[in-house]
């Protein structure tokens, strides 16, 4: 059974570059796909990705799909941190979900609107 | 092939007969200490108590652990008679910053934490005593060896399946928002998305050279799902309900196929992960106490155990070391048992040789040794000639009072596993 986590939020930009880092935790493997206004801008491991200047991307929506698979035998926990910086303040969005069956995947769908 | 086998067999009938004569010797050996007996037990608490619990609680969160313990020890004066649990303390807690890469390249300290396992068991005391015995055990790895080529290959296959998922789910979810009217529209949409992904260097870049293969396989799977649908031969425009039904079928069946692929690759990667090369070191300890009349004031230590297994492995050679210490304290009498063993194995596709030595001692017995040399030769895929020579423990006579070990026979792929490295 596919488990989905959906998360929508807003992030207040400044004039600086907006940076995104995604940390998939609990020793589980996973991958992400990042789209800005429907256009793919990055995939795979996301570490310090420059989304764009705050004043240029204001009003845009960042859509992130992250899939995490349960590799660990000793835990069914999966987690993802979305770290945004460069805006009026740095933000950490933390999502987690347990798989029901060993080896299942969790699908994280996140939308971040830049305001 | 059959002629070749028959030729081998006809030559070996005398040897085969000899091996049957020695069957009684092999049976006699079954009850003796072998190096596998000294390996670090999975649940040392169960081992020191000598119990095999029918059900074992395996809590995965601190809350679940607390509930399990509270339910078991629901009365402070009563120790549960038959309770057992295993837990991996490190994994009871959240580790948001532990990435898969960090996990896979762990320092010895992190490896120790990752593999730390606790076990706890209780059992009724042996008659005529009344009360409960309780044991706690701990087991972990300090070094876990390193990945070999086969593991890296299996791991990559698994990771590529996982890494492809964001593209697959996004593409399928986007189908619902497209204005698709016919089956051909749906096929074209999928084909266009796959083609665009192949051309876009940002897409699926963590799949490396496997990207095209992954996308082609995905495209073929989706095509098969569409071909199996009842709308396959409908050339007319589909109603919205029909198109939604078709898209839902594509998504759900693709999810099932993908889940199956990931789990299959995961199983193979985990299996290969157990055959790491290089140096690994595993150890365990356990402590047991008897509570006569289930009273904590009567609690006395009844047993202490320790195990340690160093292992060094390469593609053609394995060195295995085992050490075990057990101390039992009953009615004021202490009995200590010490066992240690080493095994050295060199193997190729057709020939294998292993040498092993075991020593055992106790507080009452002087040390006694067992050493043996084993040679295997593979004749055909499943037929081996095997020979064992050496000396058994003192006081372990095979025939009469002798302690000589000699065994020669044919193994038809049943019974003990040969030393020879089997080709995959």
In this predicted structure, what is the pLDDT of residue B18? 42
Q: Hey, how many other C-beta atoms are within 10 angstroms of the C-beta on B142?
A: 16
In this predicted structure, what is the pLDDT of residue B185? 93
Q: What residue in B sits closest to A38 (Cα-Cα)? A: B174
CB contact under 8 A, B259 and A76: no
In this structure, of B186-190, B343-347, B383-387, the range with the lowest mean pLDDT score is B383-387
**B294/B289 Cα distance (integer angstroms):** 11
pLDDT level of residue B414 (50, 70, 90 thresholds): low
Residue B283, beta-bridge partner list? B140, B308
pLDDT level of residue B407 (50, 70, 90 thresholds): confident
pLDDT digits (tens, 9 = 90+) for B198-209: 999 999 999 999
Domain count, chain A: 1
**DSSP string of A68-93?**
EE---SS--EEEEEEEEESSSS-EEE
Check residue B70 and report its DSSP letter.
H
Q: What residue in A sits closest to B103 (Cα-Cα)? A: A27
| Residue B277 · residue B148 · CB < 8 Å | yes
Residue B420 confidence (pLDDT) above 70: no
Closest chain B C-alpha to A57 CA, distance in angstroms: 20
Residue A72 confidence (pLDDT) above 90: yes
A90 or B64, higher pLDDT: A90
Residue B55 confidence (pLDDT) above 80: no
Enumerate the residues of chain A whose CB falls inside 8 A of the CB of residue B169.
65, 67, 107
A104 or B18, higher pLDDT: A104
| B174 reaches A (C-beta below 8 A) | no
Enumerate the residues of chain A whose CB falls inside 8 A of the CB of residue B163.
31, 44
**A54/B17 Cα distance (integer angstroms):** 85
Q: What residue in B sits closest to A103 (Cα-Cα)? A: B263
CB contact under 8 A, A67 and B270: no
| B63 reaches A (C-beta below 8 A) | no
**DSSP string of B253-316?**
HHHHHHHHHHHHHHHHHHHHHTT-EEEEEEEEEEEEEEEETT-GGGEEEEEEEEEEEEEEE-SS
pLDDT digits (tens, 9 = 90+) for B132-169: 899 999 999 988 888 888 889 999 999 999 999 999 99
Average of per-residue pLDDT across A80-109: 97
CB contact under 8 A, B162 and A29: yes
CB contact under 8 A, B166 and A79: no
Enumerate the residues of chain A whose CB falls inside 8 A of the CB of residue B103.
27, 72
- Choose among B95, B96, B166: nearest Cβ to A31: B166
Listed by start position, the domains of chain B span 2-145+277-411, 150-273
Closest chain A C-alpha to B95 CA, distance in angstroms: 5
Residue from A35, A43, A81 whose CB has the most chain B CBs within 10 Å, to mutate: A43
Pairing of strands A91-98, A77-85: antiparallel
In this predicted structure, what is the pLDDT of residue B295? 80
Mean pLDDT of chain B: 83
**Residue A77 structural domain:** 3-114
Check residue B214 and report its DSSP letter.
H
Report percent pLDDT > 70 for chain B: 85
Q: What percent helix, strand, coil does chain B show, rounded to 5?
A: 40, 30, 30
**B170/A92 Cα distance (integer angstroms):** 24
Average of per-residue pLDDT across B4-22: 44
Closest chain A C-alpha to B82 CA, distance in angstroms: 24
At B57, list the tokens.
């609680």
What is the predicted ipTM?
A: 0.96
CB contact under 8 A, A69 and B60: no
Average of per-residue pLDDT across B62-74: 74
- Residue B377: exposure state from Cβ atoms within 10 A (0-12, 13-18, ≥19): middle
**B324/B339 Cα distance (integer angstroms):** 5
| Residue A31 · residue B163 · CB < 8 Å | yes
pLDDT level of residue B362 (50, 70, 90 thresholds): confident
Residue B79 confidence (pLDDT) above 90: no
CB contact under 8 A, B162 and A31: yes
């Amino acid at each position: 059974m596919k488990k989905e986590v959906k998360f929508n939020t807003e992030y207040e930009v400044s004039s600086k570059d907006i940076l995104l880092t995604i940390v998939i935790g609990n020793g589980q493997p996973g991958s992400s796909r990042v789209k800005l206004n429907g256009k793919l801008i990055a995939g795979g491991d996301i570490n310090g990705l420059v989304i764009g200047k705050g004043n240029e991307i204001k009003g845009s929506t960042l859509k992130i799909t992250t899939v995490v698979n349960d590799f660990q035998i000793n835990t069914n926990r999966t987690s993802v941190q979305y770290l945004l910086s460069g805006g009026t303040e740095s933000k950490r969005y933390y999502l987690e979900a347990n798989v029901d069956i060993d080896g299942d995947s969790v699908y994280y769908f996140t939308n971040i609107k830049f305001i | 092939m059959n002629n070749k086998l028959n030729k081998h067999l006809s030559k070996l009938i005398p040897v085969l007969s000899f091996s049957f004569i020695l069957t009684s010797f092999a049976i006699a050996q079954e009850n003796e200490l072998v190096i596998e007996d000294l390996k670090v037990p999975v649940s040392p608490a169960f081992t020191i108590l000598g119990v095999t619990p029918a059900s074992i609680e395996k809590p995965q969160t601190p809350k679940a652990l607390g509930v399990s313990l509270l339910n078991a020890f629901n009365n402070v004066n009563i120790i549960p008679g038959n309770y057992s649990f295993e837990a991996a303390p490190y994994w009871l807690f959240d580790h948001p910053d532990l990435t898969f890469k960090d996990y896979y390249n762990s320092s010895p300290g992190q490896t120790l934490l990752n593999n730390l396992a606790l076990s706890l068991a209780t059992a009724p005391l042996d008659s005529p005593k009344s009360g409960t015995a309780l044991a706690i055990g701990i087991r972990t790895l300090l070094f876990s060896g390193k990945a070999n080529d086969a593991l890296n290959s299996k791991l990559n296959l698994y990771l590529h399946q996982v890494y492809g998922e964001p593209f697959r789910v996004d593409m399928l979810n986007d189908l619902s928002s497209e204005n698709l009217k016919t089956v051909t529209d749906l096929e074209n949409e999928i084909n266009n998305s796959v083609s665009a992904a192949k051309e876009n260097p940002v897409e699926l870049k963590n799949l490396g050279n496997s990207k095209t293969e992954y996308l082609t396989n995905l495209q073929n799977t989706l095509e098969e799902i569409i071909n199996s649908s009842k709308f396959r031969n409908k050339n007319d425009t589909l109603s919205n309900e029909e198109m939604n039904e078709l898209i839902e079928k594509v998504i759900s069946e693709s999810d099932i196929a993908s889940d199956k692929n990931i789990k299959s690759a995961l199983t193979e990667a985990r299996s290969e992960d157990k055959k790491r090369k290089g140096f690994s070191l595993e150890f365990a300890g356990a402590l047991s106490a008897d509570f006569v009349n289930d009273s904590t004031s009567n609690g006395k230590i009844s047993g202490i155990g320790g195990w340690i297994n160093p292992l060094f492995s390469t593609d053609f050679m394995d060195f295995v070391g085992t050490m075990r210490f057990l101390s039992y304290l009953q009615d004021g009498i202490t009995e200590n048992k010490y066992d240690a063993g080493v095994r050295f194995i060199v193997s190729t596709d057709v020939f294998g040789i292993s040498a092993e030595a075991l020593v055992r001692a106790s507080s009452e017995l002087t040390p006694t040794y067992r050493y043996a040399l084993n040679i295997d030769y593979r004749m055909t895929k499943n037929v081996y000639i095997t020979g064992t020579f050496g000396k058994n423990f003192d006081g372990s006579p095979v025939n009469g009072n002798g302690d000589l070990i000699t065994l020669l026979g044919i193994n038809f792929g049943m019974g003990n596993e040969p030393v020879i490295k089997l080709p995959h």
